[in-house]
A and B are shown apart, each in its own frame.
Chain A
Amino acid sequence: MSSPDLRPPIDPLDNTSDDPTQPTTLVLGGHDFTSVTDTVASIAENPNPPRAWYIAFAVTASMTAMLFAMIAYLIVTGVGVWGLNNPVGWGWAIVNFVFWVGIGHAGTLISAILFLLRQRWRTSINRFAEAMTIFAVICAGIFPAIHVGRIWVVWWLFPIPNYQLVWPNFRSPLLWDVFAVGTYMTVSLLFWYTGMVPDLATLRDRAQTKTRAIIFGILALGWRGSHRHWHRYEKAYLILAGLATPLVLSVHSVVSFDFAVAQLPGWHTTIFPPYFVAGAIFSGFSMVGTLLVPARKWFGLKEFITLHHLENMNKIILATGSMVGFAYATEFFIAWYGGNPAESFAFVNRAFGPYAWAYWIMVSCNVIAPQFFWSKRVRTNTVAMWILYIFVNIGMWFERFVITVTSLSRDFLPSSWGYYSPTIVDILTFVGSFGLFFMLVLLFIRFLPMLAMAEVKTVMPVAHVSGESKPIGDYHGDIHILPKAPKEAT
């Protein structure tokens, strides 16, 4: 552990000092309110985005087209185009679903839970993370829909009786998934949009063309920034945060039920719900970091998304990664302690069976890689952290692969064991889902403010009566005090 150091940092963009006597400045570079708006809004207002944006868009749009081509091929031909076999009847479709849903956890955690915990640093990253959440959930939603085989009866998943008046099985966790993911998507979208209303009004007011003025005018819902508007806005924001917080826990808990309610060794274990939630946050933060580290550089946002923000995210990745490691260890111990031979076999098989390669990729990427974040130098080095994010992204995909496939491929009956390999269609569908994800991210960056301007302003030094960047109480609360006369020094 490094010895405490009280010297002020030398780099003006380094605000990662741990000195508790100094306030942490969350917006660097001496910005005022106008320059924040100018910097952020100009990215979404630029009529001629750089050539790189067009290239990236062309690539990701092509990948998206490939995704839909693969889906069309699947529907026309049947699920036989995938690598599924007997006994592995659940392959990459469910793996990809859980992977994407997991990634979709960071945004709402940042916008809801960190809001309730008064983490002011969230303001620079919440908009981006929420957008990413929604795009990840869109990618996730595709897979369960297409994996049903006969996609034309996918509406049977909804809680309405089919034409023979048969209701869906309410005891099936797959139905719970429909409710859980649907609710999560709805609330995340509302939360994202509600938070964006003041910024949409800013874009409306700055609009140079009639079209922009009309579109953003509609989207801004008549926002005028009056005291009453702000009052209602903050009430709504708090209520949405309160509603979204249990959802962050529930979605991935329900996803974990898909596995844990079964009796299959390696799937049925009671720690699954909190362990899946920790893993989801872990993977979500890594994906946010994967996108933010380059984005802050390309779009000149280093003064807003500072090293302090990235360091905090890395700490959360370390904490949740360690929770995931803790869960792996507990599962392994109980698999032995429980004394059930099928259960202990499942775990030995994971680590030393035909899928051992996948298991050790998972352990290296999810448990070992984040441990480098114990070092402050790694936590504050953008290249090092980006490499670790990539490891975590890979590891969390493999975690779902290991859980799904190893348990299915070797269950109770050795005579029915098998080995699963994906086909090219599996692989291209998954690659295509990345195309869709990144294409949506590119569109978001192009047209919407990627930083929550109104919220960032509340945590700037100039927003506080005392002129300090340490606010008194909630950052939203400080706005109420703002117009009042300065208090006497205490």
Chain B
Amino acid sequence: MSQPHVMPSLEGEKLTLDEVGPRILIGGSILGVVGFAAAIAIGVGRNDHLASLGWSYLLNFAYFLSLSLGALFFVAVGHLTRATWNVVSRRIGEVVAVNLVLMAVMAIPLMLMASRVFPWASGLTHAPEELLEHKRPFLNLPFFYLRWVVYFAIWAGYAVWFWRQSVAQDRSGDPRITMRMESRAGLSLLLFALSVNFASFDLLMSLDPTWFSTIFGPYYFAAGVVGFFSLLTLLTFFLQSQGRLTRAIHVEHYHDYGKLMFAFVFFWAYLAFSQYMLIWYANIPEETAWLLRREENGWGWIGLVLVFGHFLVPFAGLLSRFTKRLRATLFLWALWILVMHWIDLYWVVMPEIRPLDPGLDSLDLLCFLGFAGFYAAALSRWAGAHSLLPERDPRLQDALAFENA
């Protein structure tokens, strides 16, 4: 059995980014600019009115958006359930969630390219005209833009609000701030559920305007939460490698990260299976077409990569307590799952664009680098001068001393 736990002391613990911040900010910005500059150069050279660029942009936008949405869920659900253990890593979650502000800005190019990117707007679809006409009250550009304004108002609004409240508590130590955040968490999650649901329809499902699946919103949500917990693990590693939060976050918290990664890998697979099995079983042509496209022309191999790589292999790998408590293995699984999450979205997006060619496009990777660079830069910007720990949260002491039996 483990030794009786001794409360880690935060004396002398480095709690701010300081000199690390500007380095990430500059490095990330350079990576972002270079990535997008190269992507634009290639995209313009394609002579397809930026359609290829738009699709690669969309894929990576959906990817990074899902991570920040996962973070917002982590913060809000922690407040809703009055969680204790996650207080030590909540600030990291808050900062990742505040990146929804960045994603709101990054949504602008996507909106500008929307008339090329979305088949229902560009007309580049085999969908029958009557069907598109039927969906026009929902799938039209003005309403689409309006919806995205509302989504980001909800997401960025809540993310910034939670973050500001939490940072304000660092100064005042007022427990009423905790109570305020807890009392608003319920409504925030209700709005979160509705907005993420419709956003997933808009962003991903409408790429095939004939297809529909009621479970699609939860599917995108679960994928994002898996991705976020993996990202949280990597960010914690990174901060600790830089000498930050070295004692505040310890193996007990890593263990919980691992449990949550495991749980949501399983939950994702449950939703993916439910969607696939029900469509396969009922065998209704307007639904199966979407899956058929993902089984033919080599796409089936990517589906198998997901079955094994996004479910069975990490399921087996994360099952044991040992791997969740060993930093090296947990790090590898986090990295693995983040890659799989990207492949998952690739499998959702790209068969609609390149049904005959499952191969990677250089634009996909360049856009990824561009997003990753700006995403990291913005993270360091928000983390900036504030503490990386909610220092005066009333539950901090319990979170520090927390132990998995």
Which A residues are within 8 Å of any B CB, using their own CB? 1-2, 4, 6, 18-21, 116-118, 234, 246, 249, 253, 257, 260-263, 268-274, 318, 322-323, 326-327, 329-331, 334, 337-340, 374, 470, 472-474, 476-478, 480-481, 484, 487, 490
Contact = CB atoms under 8 A, between A and B. Distances in A.
Interface string B268-292: 0011001101110111101000000
B405 interface: yes
Contacts of B252: 473
Contacts of A273: 215, 270-271, 274, 278
Interface string B182-202: 111011001001100100010
B131 A322 contact: no
Main secondary structure of the interface of B (DSSP, over half): helix
B183 A473 contact: no
B183 A270 contact: no
Given A268-B278, A473-B404, A20 B214 contact: no
Interface stretch (B12-20, B143-151, B230-238, B394-402): B394-402
A330 B197 contact: yes
A337 B286 CA distance: 13
7 contacts: A322-B193, A330-B197, A473-B403, A474-B403, A474-B405, A481-B4, A490-B401
A330 B266 CA distance: 23
A330 B214 contact: yes
Nearest to B177: A4
A253 B48 CA distance: 45
Contacts, number: 132
A440 B180 CA distance: 44
Contacts of A116: 259
A472 B214 contact: no
Nearest to B267: A249
Contacts of B266: 246
Contacts of B301: none
B179 A472 contact: no
* In the A-B complex, the 6 residue pairs with the closest CB atoms: A477-B405, A473-B403, A271-B214, A4-B179, A474-B405, A490-B7
B138 interface: yes
Given A322-B190, A477-B405, A274 B183 contact: no
Interface string B364-405: 000000000000000000000000000000110010011111
B405 A270 contact: no
Interface of B: 1, 4-7, 9, 81-82, 85, 131, 134-135, 138, 175-176, 178-180, 182-184, 186-187, 190, 193-194, 197, 201, 210, 212-218, 252, 259, 266, 270-271, 274-275, 277-279, 281-284, 286, 394-395, 398, 401-405
B197 A337 contact: no
A257 B216 CA distance: 17
A337 B218 contact: no
B212 A337 contact: yes
B179 A270 contact: no
Q: Which of B134, B284, B405 has the most CB of A within 10 A?
A: B405
B184 A1 contact: yes
Contacts of A326: 193-194, 197
A330 B405 contact: no
B403 A472 contact: yes
A175 B9 CA distance: 57
Contact of A472 (B138, B182, B282, B398): B398
A265 to B, nearest CB: 10
B405 A480 contact: yes
Given A261-B278, A271-B215, A473-B5, 6 more contacts: A18-B179, A20-B395, A270-B214, A274-B271, A337-B201, A470-B398
Contacts of B197: 326, 330
B401 A4 contact: no
Contacts of B283: 263
Q: Which of A118, A263, A327, A339 has the most CB of B within 10 A?
A: A339
A105 to B, nearest CB: 16
Contacts of B6: 487, 490
A441 B146 CA distance: 54
Nearest to A322: B190
B212 A334 contact: yes
Nearest to B266: A246
Contacts of B395: 20
Contacts of A21: 175, 394
Given A337-B212, A339-B135, A473-B252, A270 B275 contact: yes
Contacts of A331: 214
A269 B201 CA distance: 15
A271 B131 CA distance: 23
A329 B194 CA distance: 10
Contacts of B135: 337, 339
A330 B213 contact: no
A331 B212 CA distance: 11
A472 B278 contact: no
B405 A274 contact: no
Given A268-B278, A340-B286, A472-B401, A19 B214 contact: no
B5 A472 contact: yes
Given A339-B134, A473-B403, A473-B405, A270 B278 contact: yes
B404 A268 contact: no
A24 B213 CA distance: 43
Contact of B284 (A234, A268, A274): A268
Contacts of A249: 270
Nearest to A340: B286
A478 B131 CA distance: 61
A272 B138 CA distance: 24
Q: Which of A18, A20, A249, A270 has the most CB of B within 10 A?
A: A270
Contacts of B259: 116
Contacts of A2: 183
Nearest to B198: A333
Contacts of A330: 197, 214, 217
Nearest to A468: B398
B178 A20 contact: yes
B179 A274 contact: no
A274 B274 contact: yes
A20 B404 CA distance: 22
Q: Which of A249, A331, A334 has the most CB of B within 10 A?
A: A334
A147 to B, nearest CB: 22
Contacts of B5: 472-473
B82 A20 contact: yes
Contacts of A338: 212, 286
A174 B199 CA distance: 36
